Amino acid sequence: MRVVEKMLLRRRAGRTDTLTYLLASACALIVFLVCSILYGTRSDNPSLPTLVKEVLPAGRCLCQYSTVFTCDTCLDCAASQSAFYENATNHNIGSEEERWVFQYSRDSHNYGLDEDQCHVAFPGLFEDIERAKNQRTVLGKVTERLLSSFNLSKGMVRAMIYNGELYVLQTYLVDNVNRQKALAVLASLHRAITSAPVQAPIENVEFVFSVEDLPAQPNKPIWTLARRAQDTSLWLIPDFGFWSWDMPDLGTFSEVADEARQRETVEPWDSKRERLVWRGKISFAPKLRRALLDAARGKSWSDVGQVAWSTPNYKDQFLGPVDQCGYMFIAHAEGRSYSGALKYRQLCRSVIVSHKLQWIQHHHYLMRATGPLQNYVEVERDFSDLNNVMQDLLAHPEKAKRIADNSVQTFRERYLTPAAEACYWRELVKKWKEVSFDPVLYDGVEIGDGRLKRTQKRGVRYETFMLYEYPKQMEYPKSAEMSPAIGP
Ligand SMILES: *[C@@H]1O[C@H](CO)[C@@H](O)[C@H](O)[C@H]1NC(C)=O
Ligand SMILES: *[C@@H]1O[C@H](CO)[C@@H](O)[C@H](O)[C@H]1NC(C)=O
């Protein structure tokens, strides 16, 4: 692999040359990769052959990076990424009047980029949508019957977009956290719909999404926050935190991003502490997170500790997401499933040190653990190589700085912007429509002897649903009938 990389670098002079070479290698590698990955992901063998292990976490294409999962659009991904790379290294080619390019300062908060702009700005962002769609093409379209064939489990909402408006059809929310997450997801989808360019109307779609960390019914076509490689029926959505999360020092995601930028002006790279920071709750993933604590214990480079809410001075140990930016290195560990903290960590100009991830979120395809575009550092799931990795980073500050800069360029200034979030939602709706049914706004209601007498509008508009009181939102529509109506 190393040799191939070096050759690639040398040959970068000729662009067509590089592309052809890349595509050819990609083709040959894909057969090898698919076989290795199939074996690697299915095998129960604790010690995989070295060769298989090597391609598992970090194949040639971005799609295989970091997480152990397969990717059906690898070739497209490789091609567009290499084009992106070319563009990134040749800022000066062409003028901006000739072709539109994404500019962070101008476009990051633009929720209304059109489809072409979305694709130019965010190559590789739509990988999982493409994967899920292809999977659905094989399995057959999502029908109304399929969507109605399972009951909602806790944290799920059935909803619909009709004539560009968002409707809530059914909810099963069990507590206030569930409710807040569901509202946040609905709100950010609603924002993406209402900001869509007028010339490209949003399709009518019906869907079920879940806000639980762990997918309760991973074999159903449900929109979820994260999935494992084997959960091929699931479709990924941006997590509720992109709208907002009501915790100290959080708030809307773009607020935290602005805060991180602000902090950087007073706390630039050179003034950061040369230590690895981590705060979190051990109990969310005891084995994994304890391994991190063990690996960091007593090391001169470590500021790794758990948040113990019960101790009197927990406020001193607590570090807000932006406070973590004060460190050059930030550790990341998965929680019950994925950890929502990753996206905040990626807002810092710091080096993310993460174990090999199992859970995939919509933006994970953009993570790279090697090469000139490396934007995080990957360690083993048991953190056995953490000390060596830290020693290496401390000995090569210029490399650490480059990884941190790449992370900012890739995530804070591109794939985690509000513009990217809105683009992702609209692409999701569009591709879901290609493999699912046409929803109806009116349902037949049987009255009396069973003959169809009248029709009834389904669900409630999001604008109205968000005004409902707490109990009414929980198990809609059942809970709405039970709560007393507010009279005029
Ligand atoms: C790279 O630039 C070319 C024009 O030079 C453009 O057509 C292409 O879309 C760009 N690719 C990416 C991924 O930005
Ligand atoms: C859904 O719930 C209803 C009522 O609790 C039950 O009768 C039905 O069997 C459930 N359906 C499935 C597919 O689990």
Ligand 2 neighbourhood includes 104 CB (under 6 angstroms)? no
Q: How far is the CA of 14 from the centre of ligand 1 (A)?
A: 16
Distance CA 228, CA 7 (A): 34
Q: Are 147 and 158 in contact (CB under 8 A)?
A: yes
Mean pLDDT of 407-412: 95
In which element (H, E) is residue 236 found?
A: strand 235-236
For residue 120, give the ligand 1 atom closest to its CA.
14
Ligand 2 neighbourhood includes 145 CB (under 6 angstroms)? no
Sort 8 into a burial class: Cβ within 10 Å, 0-12 / 13-18 / 19+: middle
Ligand 2 neighbourhood includes 151 CB (under 6 angstroms)? yes
Domain ranges of the chain: 2-99, 106-239+418-488, 259-360+364-415
Q: How far is the CA of 221 from the centre of ligand 2 (A)?
A: 18
Alpha carbon nearest to ligand 1 atom 9, residue: 120
Ligand nearest to the CA of 98: 1
Q: Is the peptide bond before 484 cis (omega within 30 degrees of 0)?
A: no
Q: Angle CA(136)–CA(219)–CA(461) in degrees, nearest 5?
A: 75
Ligand nearest to the CA of 121: 1
Note the pLDDT tens digit of each residue in 123-147: 889 999 999 999 999 999 999 999 9
Mean pLDDT of 27-35: 69
Distance CA 334, CA 345 (A): 13
Alpha carbon nearest to ligand 1 atom 12, residue: 84
Note the pLDDT tens digit of each residue in 160-217: 999 999 999 999 999 999 999 999 999 999 999 999 998 888 999 999 999 999 999 9
For residue 151, give the ligand 2 atom closest to its CA.
1
296 pLDDT above the threshold of 50: yes
Q: Give pLDDT, residue 446.
A: 63
Q: How far is the CA of 226 from the centre of ligand 1 (A)?
A: 30
Note the pLDDT tens digit of each residue in 41-90: 444 333 445 555 444 433 333 343 345 444 434 434 444 555 555 555 55
Task: Give pairs for 76-84: CB < 8 Å, separation 24+.
Answer: 76/130, 77/124, 77/127, 77/365, 78/22, 78/23, 78/26, 79/19, 79/22, 79/23, 80/123, 80/124, 81/123, 81/124, 82/18, 82/19, 82/22, 83/19, 83/123, 84/123, 84/124
Q: How confident is the model at residue 471 (pLDDT cuts 50, 70, 90)?
A: very high
Dihedral sign, CA of 400, 405, 408, 410? negative
Mutate to test the pocket of ligand 2, among 150, 151, 222 (most ligand atoms within 8 A of CB): 151
Note the pLDDT tens digit of each residue in 351-399: 999 999 999 999 998 998 988 889 999 999 999 999 999 999 999 999 9
Q: What is the pTM assigned to this prediction?
A: 0.79
DSSP-derived secondary structure letter, 64: G
Q: How confident is the model at residue 486 (pLDDT cuts 50, 70, 90)?
A: low
Distance CA 259, CA 348 (A): 10
SS3 (DSSP) at 457:
strand
Note the pLDDT tens digit of each residue in 105-114: 999 999 999 9
Q: How far is the CA of 147 from the centre of ligand 2 (A)?
A: 13
Candidates 3.40.640.10, 3.40.50.2000, 3.40.228.10, 3.30.499.10; CATH matching 259-360+364-415: 3.40.50.2000
Sort 229 into a burial class: Cβ within 10 Å, 0-12 / 13-18 / 19+: middle
Q: How far is the CA of 87 from the centre of ligand 1 (A)?
A: 6
Q: Give pLDDT, residue 452.
A: 63
Note the pLDDT tens digit of each residue in 307-340: 766 666 656 667 888 999 999 999 999 988 889 9
**Percent of the chain at pLDDT above 70?**
77
Ligand nearest to the CA of 216: 2
Give 379's strand partners. 355
Ligand nearest to the CA of 149: 2
Alpha carbon nearest to ligand 2 atom 5, residue: 151
Per DSSP, the chain holds a count of helices (H) and strands (E) of: 19, 13
Q: Give pLDDT, residue 22.
A: 77
Q: How far is the CA of 61 from the centre of ligand 1 (A)?
A: 18
103 pLDDT above the threshold of 50: yes
Average pLDDT, the chain: 84
Q: Give pLDDT, residue 90.
A: 54
